[in-house]
Amino acid sequence: MSNFIAVAVGFLTSSALLYRFESDIENNTNQIRKQLYNSQKQLKAALPNYLNSELKNESLTQPFKTPNNRPQLPIPSISQTQNYVNYRLIPTFKATWNDHIITFANKVTNFDVNETVKTAIIKTKSFAEDRKWTNGKK
């Protein structure tokens, strides 16, 4: 049963983290697209009228907000980041996370309450005897 709990907790936590990473990447990408659109708009507004009239036939398009309709950006740093996250960060994180969850589950499973209480009582008695505590006085 403890292995099931460890796997379930690891799965839920990993899923939540992956969902959070995906959401952050989506938000960052949308912000970058909006900034590019605004910069393009400002650049067109700053051009002289004769150049601006030649560019009128090229309309500005608002960036897509849904993930299925938007084109892929040809930025190598994003693909390199995706490769790093997919092939290096996530497997390393998963392996480390699983090791920690398994260690914690084993400690919880093998925890002996009686032995711990006995050890605590013995240590308390020896501490009191070393300090010679009697009726609250040293």
Tens digits of residue pLDDT in 52-65? 565 555 555 655 55
59 C-beta neighbours (distance < 10 Å), count: 6
Report CA dihedral (103, 109, 114, 115) to the nearest 10 degrees. -30
Tens digits of residue pLDDT in 32-51? 988 988 888 888 777 776 66
Residue 122 to residue 77: CA distance in whole angstroms = 61
Beta bridge partner(s), residue 97: none
Q: Is 57 left (phi over 0), alpha (psi -120 to 50) or beta?
A: alpha
- The helix/strand count (H/E) of the chain reads as 5, 0
The pLDDT of residue 52: 58
The pLDDT of residue 100: 92
Residue-range domain boundaries for the chain: 2-112
| Ordered DSSP codes for 102-123 | HHHHHHHHT--HHHHHHHHHHH
- Against a cut of 0.95, is the pTM above it? no
Percent share of the chain, pLDDT over 70? 72
The pLDDT of residue 17: 87
